[in-house]
Structure formats: C-alpha cells, structure tokens
Amino acid sequence: MRILVVNPPAFNKKDYIREGRCMQTKSSWAALWMPLSLCYISAVLRKDGHEIRLVDCIAEKMNEAEFLDLAREFMPEIVVLNTAIPSIPGDMKTAAAIKAILPTAKIAVVGMFPSLYEKDCLEKFPQVDFAVMDEPEWVVAALASALSDKKPLEQIRGLIFRKGEVVVVNERQNLGENNLDDLPFPARDLLNNDAYRLPTNRKRFTLLSVGRGCSERCIYCVANLYYGKKFRKRSVESIIGEIEECINKYDIRNFLFWGESFTTDPEYGEAICYEIISRNIKITWSSTSRVDTLNPLLLEKMKRAGCILLGLGIESYDQEVLNRARKRITIEQIDAAVEMVRNAGIKSMGHFVFGLPGDTRESALKTIGFACRNVTFAQFYCAVPYPKTEFGRIAAEQNSITGIDYTQFELTRSVTGNENLSPREIKKIRNYAYRKFYFRPGMIIRTLREIESVGALFSVLDFMDWIKPKKAK
C-alpha cells in the first residue's frame, strides 16, 4: 500500500514538537526535534513491503497548501498523521483538508491525543478513520496489514475505528510485550537530516531511543500511560549499532538519548557507556535522569562516553510538593544529584513544574532560587491536568479547569489552579522564573560564549523572545 506518514504543518505559526509525551513549541527548546516515532513507523511499514513517504512539514517549512500538493501527487491509500494536544485544531484541519482532496484515503492519527481522549478523537472529528492509543509502531503495522488483506480490525490491540456509525475502542496494547529490539532502526533516510541541529553550534543531532516505560507513579505525568509502567530496554548492541549507523550513514555525532530516564537501571547505563568508550566512538550526547538513581561512577563513565548535558526531573524544591506529587525523591537527593553532576563536569538541565498540589508562591520562589543557584540550564512548566492522570482527576473533581480549549493544554500555559494559586498566578510565576533565570548577566554571558555561528545566535534569540515578559492569560 502507498502510505504517507506526516508531521503536520505549523499551527498558529508555531512549530510544534510532537514526540510521544513531549508536546511543546520548538522555541521552548530552541531546537527542532526529529519525529522519532514517525521514523520508526516508516521503517516498520517499509520493512513490511509498503511504499512509504515520510514528510516532516515543520522541518521542511511546508505550509498546508504545499503539503496537499505533495499528498495529491503521491495519492496515498493511508495517511498516518502525527498529533499533539495543543496543536490538535491545526492537526485536524490538516486531516480534513486531506479528506477533501483524497476522499478514499484512510486517515489514522497517532500521538498523545488519541491515547488520552480515545473515542472522542473519532466522535469529534469525522475526518479521522482510525486512531492509535499509546506507542504506535505495532498498531499501525497491524492496521496496514489488515487493510491490505481486508481482514477484520477488532483484534488489533490499541486501535480505535468506525464500524458503521459506532466508534469501536479495542483493548489497549500490552506494552510489556512489545520488544524494542524487534523494531528496525528509524528511517532517517526519509528525512532531511540537515533540518535538525543543536541550538548553540548548529551541528546535526538526532533522537535515539534507549528504552521506554516508567514504573514511577507521579500524579502529573503521562509517560507510563503512553509507554507503559515497565522500563523496557533496548539491547546495548542495538543502541551501539544505531549510533554507528548515524555516524557512518548520516554524519550525525550528536544525540539526545530519548527515554524516561537514562539511569533507571544504572548498570544498563554503564554498559552503554562502556561500549562507547571501548570502541572509541566519538560522540556528544544528552539525556535525562531521576535524581535518586545517580552515582559518581556512572556519571564518570557518562562523561567519558561523551555526555555533555543531563536533564534532572526535580519539579520542586519543596518536600511537601514532592510528596503530594508522589515524586518519591527528597530535597537531600536533589542536592546530592546536582553536586554529583557538577563534580563530573556535566552540565545540568533542571526541569521544574509550578502549580502542583501544595505549591504556593513561597515554595515556587524557593524552587526558582534553587534553580538559579544550582543548575546550568532550566525548563519551567505549568502543571497540566491531562486526562487519565491523578492530577487531571483531582482538577476535574475540584472543577478547577478553566476551559476545554485543547490549545491551552500545554506545559507553557496554566489551565488549572490549586488550593493556593490561581491559573493566572501560576502562569505569572512561570514567566517570572524564566526571566529570573535566563536574564541574569552571568547567564547571558555564558550563553553568548557558547554560540558558534550566526544561525545559532538566531536560535537562541528565538528562545529569548519566547521567554520575554508576556501578559498572563
């Protein structure tokens, strides 16, 4: 079958990153990420013998009219459309436009939107024929096979489809059964790899999956809803093989090791680092970690293996907020982790969330002060009451969600308050945090020193413009 796999055009003039649980604008990172899930989907479908076209409209700066011309020329039988919750009005507009010019094409949507909203995806948007819940590769492959062979759809786990006028929601996948080593390497050859570059030096970079799933139960997070409650590891051999392919085939030596936490299994992290070091593979990479899974030996190996930046899921520097969020970490563990990362010579990216239960203006200011004193870079978010999360349930029960406009369900916006802060106050605190952290003279000087090209300067200026004082809504 001819299958078009697409990352839709920019929505409201915003370039969105749509990658699993990560749904935010490019400006929030100053860099565009490759659509890793779409590359995996394309690789699986191609392996199954389908004719594939992969289009990242964001990377190609392709507007809807240009994309529709491409779709009309390719004449796909199936269109696999990437989605994110805050961009869903634009994503669905693109889906409707495809249906208008290619009425026989079947449209299947993937991403967090169908995973969290399930049948609403088809009931509210008649232009959609199929929706995939949770990680998409196996479901999309089974769907394409069933449509090709005209087989029934009821047995495809993770699929939502129409049966006459009825929307059928199949049983969800058993994610623990999905073996990541069964997936071929992502089809990066179908992308323009020049479009994905680091913000400060403009070198090519790519996402590389090291594992999926999270056994933690943080009340605000959708990671284990999308990837499951068990950490599934790729084999070290597979990871090293993909790194070598990126170097030899695509001239890519800079990576974001994508997963919930690189250090979920410290011995596994050490094994990856050992292979990189022993094979003398010269790369640079960043990743994420919980603060309670680090140790000096692991960090020393990570540094030697090329790790230059480690994201730390700190969320708050207030123990009550951490406890109520079921983060299962302590202030002492946060302090120890930050010191270990610093001593290892690795830069840190602190991730912080405002508006969780128990958060107050005082606890938020304490968190901001900690960030300014201790981490190299920082990301500040507003807590989002996503459906199916405990935080979403609490917000719904308290009737505190200010609207159902999907575009507002973004980490940069606040749609719910807590017992101490209104949505407007949370948004103002977040804006203040960015200004306080990034507009310090020392921070500006450090950032400018790391810029290596005019293109990099524009990327950083785009980020700075994004965090300028803006009116809280």
At residue 25, the pLDDT reads 78
What is the arithmetic mean of pLDDT over 107-133?
A: 97
Query: Which of 176, 205, 238 is a domain's end point?
Result: 176
Residue 42's nearest CA partner among 98, 3, 81 is 3
- Tell me how far apart the alpha carbons of residues 434 and 443 are, in angstroms, rounded to a whole number: 12
At residue 457, the pLDDT reads 47
What is the arithmetic mean of pLDDT over 34-45?
A: 97
Q: What band does 386 get if pLDDT is binned at 50, 70 and 90?
A: very high
For 218-282, give the secondary structure using H, E and C.
Answer: CCCCCHHHHHCCCCEECCHHHHHHHHHHHHHHHCCCEEEEECCCCCCCHHHHHHHHHHHHHCCCC
Is residue 247 located within the same domain as residue 367? yes
What is the arithmetic mean of pLDDT over 389-400?
A: 93
At residue 146, the pLDDT reads 98
Determine how many CB atoms are found less than 10 A away from the CB of residue 385: 22
Long-range CB contacts for residues 319-326, cutoff 8 Å, separation at least 24: 320/358, 320/363, 321/356, 321/357, 321/358, 321/359, 321/363, 323/358, 324/219, 324/356, 324/357, 324/358, 325/218, 325/219, 325/220, 325/353, 325/356, 325/357, 325/391, 326/216, 326/217, 326/218, 326/219, 326/390
Quick check: is 182 in a domain? no
Is residue 67 located within the same domain as residue 155? yes
Q: What percent of the chain has pLDDT over 70?
A: 93
Residue 356's nearest CA partner among 319, 329, 304 is 319
Mean pLDDT score of the chain: 92
- Whether the per-residue pLDDT at 65 is higher than 50: the answer is yes
Quick check: is 473 in a domain? no
12-16, 35-39, 103-107: which has the minimum mean pLDDT?
12-16
Is residue 308 located within the same domain as residue 406? yes
Determine how many CB atoms are found less than 10 A away from the CB of residue 103: 7
At residue 472, the pLDDT reads 44
CATH of the domain at 251: 3.80.30.20
Is residue 143 located within the same domain as residue 231? no
CATH of the domain at 59: 3.40.50.2300
Beta bridge partners of 130: 108, 161
What is the arithmetic mean of pLDDT over 60-85?
A: 97
Q: What band does 451 get if pLDDT is binned at 50, 70 and 90?
A: low
Q: What percent of the chain has pLDDT over 90?
A: 82
Stronger pLDDT, 38 or 452, i.e. the higher one: 38
At residue 262, the pLDDT reads 86
Query: Which of 176, 206, 225 is a domain's end point?
Result: 176
Quick check: is 227 in a domain? yes
Structure tokens at 131: 């929706």
Quick check: is 181 in a domain? no
382 and 413 in contact (C-beta within 8 Å)? yes
**Per-residue model confidence as pLDDT tens digits over 165-218:** 999 999 999 999 999 999 999 999 999 999 999 877 789 999 999 999 999 999
At residue 102, the pLDDT reads 98
Is residue 113 located within the same domain as residue 251? no
Query: Which of 176, 211, 245 is a domain's end point?
Result: 176
Stronger pLDDT, 458 or 211, i.e. the higher one: 211
129 and 106 in contact (C-beta within 8 Å)? yes
123-137, 358-372, 433-447: which has the minimum mean pLDDT?
433-447
Planar angle of CA 162, 90, 382, nearest 5 degrees = 105
Quick check: is 184 in a domain? no
At residue 13, the pLDDT reads 84
- Whether the per-residue pLDDT at 320 is higher than 60: the answer is yes
- Whether the per-residue pLDDT at 139 is higher than 50: the answer is yes
**Per-residue model confidence as pLDDT tens digits over 220-279:** 999 999 999 999 999 999 999 999 999 999 999 999 999 887 888 999 999 999 999 999
- Tell me how far apart the alpha carbons of residues 359 and 421 are, in angstroms, rounded to a whole number: 8
At residue 458, the pLDDT reads 46
Is residue 65 located within the same domain as residue 95? yes
At residue 27, the pLDDT reads 55
Is residue 133 located within the same domain as residue 205? no
Quick check: is 326 in a domain? yes
**Is beta strand 78-83 parallel, antiparallel or unpaired with respect to 51-56?**
unpaired
Residues of the domain holding 12: 2-176
At residue 105, the pLDDT reads 98
Listed in sequence order, the residues at least 6 apart from 118 whose beta carbon sits closer than 8 Å to its beta carbon are 131, 133, 160, 169
At residue 441, the pLDDT reads 85
Is residue 452 located within the same domain as residue 405? yes
Is residue 86 located within the same domain as residue 213? no
Residue 234's nearest CA partner among 265, 205, 280, 206 is 265
- Whether the per-residue pLDDT at 322 is higher than 80: the answer is yes
- Whether the per-residue pLDDT at 473 is higher than 50: the answer is no
Structure tokens at 148: 């090709």
Is residue 117 located within the same domain as residue 229? no
Quick check: is 189 in a domain? no
What is the arithmetic mean of pLDDT over 134-162?
A: 97
What is the arithmetic mean of pLDDT over 330-343?
A: 98
Is residue 172 located within the same domain as residue 209? no
Quick check: is 472 in a domain? no
Is residue 171 located within the same domain as residue 201? no
pTM (2 decimals)? 0.93
* Count of domains for the chain: 2
151-160, 408-417, 456-465: which has the minimum mean pLDDT?
456-465
